[in-house]
Amino acid sequence: MPELPEVEVSRLGISPHLQQQVITKVVARQRQLRWWIPDEVLEIQQQPILSVSRRAKYLLLELPSGSVILHLGMSGHLKVVSNSVAPAKHDHIDFVLGSGQCLRLNDTRRFGAVLWQANGSIHPLLGALGPEPLTADFTAQTLISHCAKRSAAIKLVLMDNKVVVGVGNIYANEALFKAGIAPQAPANQVSAEKLQLLTTVVKETLAAAIVQGGTTLRDFSQVDGKPGYFKQALLVYGRGGKPCFSCGEPLQEIRLGQRSTVFCQHCQR
């Protein structure tokens, strides 16, 4: 599943083409994605897109009457193309723009979502989310407070969207390695000093991934069709059994929360 940097790269890619453009028509070829596309999404004609924002891994097309919520799921990607370009297989919905272009969602597995949030309301999917990691709302004290109450593995706490949003499996692995913290360590046994460092490296790792274009996953690419480049800089994720870049010892790979977890027994305590 695309992680926060990939979603932010998509937002940055589509925003210049969408802001202040009027949606003239919505064409839904397949309404059954992860959830049924609601009628309200199909009724937003003649409304301008005021902005394109992101909350966790959700993109929001903000309109005068509310917001279209987009989620890419495991295989979804967005592209901005001319209205004259014939839809391909798995091109499920178009937001046709007055510019002669359209925003098109392609989703092979149909695990993505197109939902609606009316003005003055908060969609249930967004209501219980924690702070954004790249804002001042996510502080070391926030993480320390949550960890003090939890005996679960620190990696699982870091990936809990009620603690902080958008730190998925790839970047949790990377951040814990940089902070020298064993991913399976009980959260309430990690020192405040290490949690302060972890907060910093989470911010730095995600910011670097956004700048470098996101991490290429099996079937994700940027909005312009180019793959992300941050995969070249990954230190542990996907490298189980290979030498640690810091000490040369083989990296260990285990399962935590049913997710692949790679770490260095020597460097991470």
Active site residues: 2-3, 57, 259
d(CA 103, CA 59) in angstroms, rounded, equals: 13
| Residue carrying structure tokens 């939890």 | 150
Which helix (H) or strand (E) element contains residue 79? strand 76-82
Binding residues: 90, 109, 150
Termini Cα distance of the chain = 28
Binding residues for DNA: 90, 109, 150
d(CA 219, CA 121) in angstroms, rounded, equals: 33
Helix axes 192-211, 4-18, angle to 10 degrees: 40
Complete edge-to-edge strand list for the sheet that includes strand 113-118: 51-55, 58-63, 66-71, 113-118
Beta carbons within 10 angstroms of residue 220's beta carbon = 22
Tell which residue, 127, 130, 63, 73, has the closest CA to residue 97: 63
Kindly write down the DSSP assignment for every residue of 105-144, as one continuous string: EEESS---EEEEEETT---HHHHT----TTSTTS-HHHHH
d(CA 140, CA 197) in angstroms, rounded, equals: 8
Angle at 92 between CA 61 and CA 77, to 5 degrees: 60
